Every structure is written in structure tokens, then in C-alpha cells.
Amino acid sequence: MRERIEELLHEIEELKAQKMQDIEEYRIKLLGKKGSVTKLFEDFREILPEQKREFGQKLNALKQAAAAKLDELREKLEENPSQEEAKFDYTKPGDRFDLGTRHPISITREEIISIFSKFGYAVAEGPEIEDDWHVFGALNFPPEHPARDMQDTFFVSQAGGDNPILLRTHTSSVQVRAMEKMPLPIRIICPGRVFRNEAISARAHCIFHQVEGLYIDKNVSFADLKQAILLFAKEMFGEDSKIRLRPSYFPFTEPSAEVDVSCNICKGKGCNICKGTGWLEIMGCGMVDPNVLEASGIDPKEYSGFAFGMGVERIAMLKWQVKDLRHYFENDVRFLREFETVV
Ligand code: DAH
């Protein structure tokens, strides 16, 4: 042990430090939990009682020498920082990180969800790869309906005979899945991606996003539908927004309507966004057709409901006056940065 103490004393004497980190490393090596000085203190427990006095003193002196040397090195460095540390200017401003921004479609989808969650709607999702039954059959589309045509629908596989696998063309398919398995009453919105075989242009794309809404309970009326949509329009486009409903046709709703909101740019006076009409079309809606309820095992004599469906791209275009749908898919940062400040 004597030699080891001498050796360490010598080692300590020779220590040199370039930077603070060196000193910390020495401290750990000597005095840390597994340090060489600490180790000697452990060995000390084993030595003969008559030697304890001598070695006790020597070990304490060694420990003090180590601590004193580290203090000395630290002081020296503080007075005269090493070249490397001196070069670093701590007052320099840091590098700027480019923060990512949320995509306008995500922003709009989140806003639609948050408005309807305030009205008590839960979010439901379904598969993008669906079968004919959930996209068309259960929604009362007759077998020869043109929407089922190859021209509109991307088919994945003809396996399944008259129930082929395809990419869903609308989120109304999630209605069917919800009606099949959720307990009544049902109050949901279904955001999701949909696919149609369309030529890409400023007004059409083969991939886009929709939000479907569905409310089924006893005694749900058309007035409830109108009120829900009016409240949504006011939250989305401003308190003074008005809506109007135009009769329309969808196989899965009866009666059906298309909804226009008063143009929030010209406040209904007429401008080039609303093509001089003062109104902008925002969604389709209607009372769920009794055939649709029945197809999913719900008794239309006891329950009624309404449904609506809107395009997220369309809502975002109206909100921010985006003129070309393709901007949403091209990931041009000059376009995406426009939404940096939208929270
Ligand atoms: N699924 C329709 C579409 O893709 C939108 C729609 C219209 C949904 C009326 C509905 C509805 O729920 O009632 O064009």
C-alpha cells in the first residue's frame, strides 16, 4: 500500500489541465466512487490494527493532496482559460432553428373537429381500403349507379364478386361501420382521406379529405340538422354567417340538400370568389334514408338521423382564398409558410 500511495502522490503532482472537463475527469478518476484514492480507503479496512495509524495518516494526506491539486488546477484555469475555451463567445446569438408549420389541411381538419366536439360529436375513423358494401351498397346506391363506375372509383381487387375491394370515394363509408357496431344514439364526425379517379386540375384531385357527420337518435328532425350546420358555419366562417339549403339528391339521404354559406369575403354582396352570387357551397346533407338505417340493422320506425359531408380542401380554400387545389399537395414551402402564424 505504501508504494501505491507514493505512486499516486507522484501522479497527482504531475497533473495538468487544458480545460475544466479535464479536472472533472481527474476528480472522478481519483476521488469518485470507483476512484483510485477511494479504492485505497476500502483496502485500508483490511490492514493490521498496528499499521492503521501510519496508513490512516498517509491516506488522509493523499486525499488532501488530490483535492488541493484539483483546486489549484481549477484556479489556474479560471485565471487563464485555455485557448479552446477562450475562442468560444458565449454572448453570440444561437443558431436559428426552422420550425415546421402545420399543413393547412391539418389546421382546417382540426378546426372542424374542435367545433363539432363542442357540440358533443365524437371522432370515428374507418379504413381507406374498403369494400363495395360499405362505400356503396349499404348507402343505398343502386347496382348500376355511375359512382361505382371504373371512371370514378379505384378498384383494388375484383375478388369478392359483387363486393369488390376499392379505395373509398367518400367518408360516408364510416357512417355504415359506425351504425353496424356503435350503440345508439350515435353522434360522430369522421375525418379522412378519400380517393377518386379524377384528372388533376385546379379544382379536382384524385386524393382529398372529407369530414362526414352523423347523428342518429329518436326524433331527430330536419330542423336539428339545419341548426347544427348553422352553428358550424358561424364558428368556422364568422358569427354573422348565414346558410341556405338547396334541394338536392344523394342515394343515402332523403330529403337531401346542398348547403351554401354567405360569402365571407364580400359579406353576401357578390365578388369574384362567390362569382357574384353572395353564396359559397360548403357541403351536402340530408336525413338518413330509412333503407340505410335498415341495411345496418337500425329500425327506421324507432330511430331517425341526419348526415352531412364536406370537403376539407374546399373549406380551407374558402377560408384562405386558395385558388388552386394543387397547392395543398405540392409541399412548396412558400405556400406552407403562409400558414405559419395560423394557430
Ligand atoms: N358523400 C358525399 C360526397 O362524397 C357527401 C355527402 C353528401 C355526405 C350528403 C353526406 C350527405 O353525409 O348527407 O359527395
Q: Which domains does the chain have, with CATH numbers?
A: 2-86 (no CATH), 104-339 (3.30.930.10)
Q: Is the Cβ atom of 308 under 6 angstroms away from ligand 1? A: yes
| CA distance linking residue 209 with residue 195, whole number of Å | 9
User: Residue whose CA is closest, atom 7 of ligand 1?
Assistant: 284
Which residues of the chain, if any, have pLDDT below 50? none
Q: What is the side-by-side strand order in the sheet with 165-167?
A: 129-131, 165-167, 155-157
| CA distance linking residue 216 with residue 187, whole number of Å | 7
Angle at 132 between CA 131 and CA 137, to 5 degrees: 130
User: Residue whose CA is closest, atom 3 of ligand 1?
Assistant: 170
Mutation test residue for ligand 1: of 308, 312, 315, the one with most atoms within 8 Å of CB:
308
| CA distance linking residue 180 with residue 298, whole number of Å | 8
CA 19 to ligand 1 centroid distance, Å? 69
CA 103 to ligand 1 centroid distance, Å? 24
Q: List residues bridging with 129 in a β-sheet.
A: 167
CA 62 to chain centre: 60
Q: Is the Cβ atom of 170 under 6 angstroms away from ligand 1? A: yes
Instruction: Report the pLDDT value the prediction gives residue 135, as an integer from 0 to 100.
Output: 96
Q: Is the Cβ atom of 286 under 6 angstroms away from ligand 1? A: yes
One-letter amino acid at 118 equals K
Do residues 161 and 167 lie in contact, with contact meaning Cβ atoms separated by under 8 Å?
no
Instruction: Report the pLDDT value the prediction gives residue 249, as an integer from 0 to 100.
Output: 95
The bridge status of strand 165-167 relative to strand 253-262 is unpaired
Instruction: Report the pLDDT value the prediction gives residue 81, as an integer from 0 to 100.
Output: 67
Length of the chain: 343
User: Residue whose CA is closest, atom 12 of ligand 1?
Assistant: 308
Q: Is the Cβ atom of 212 under 6 angstroms away from ligand 1? A: yes
Q: Is the Cβ atom of 284 under 6 angstroms away from ligand 1? A: yes
Does the pTM of the predicted model rise above 0.75?
Answer: no
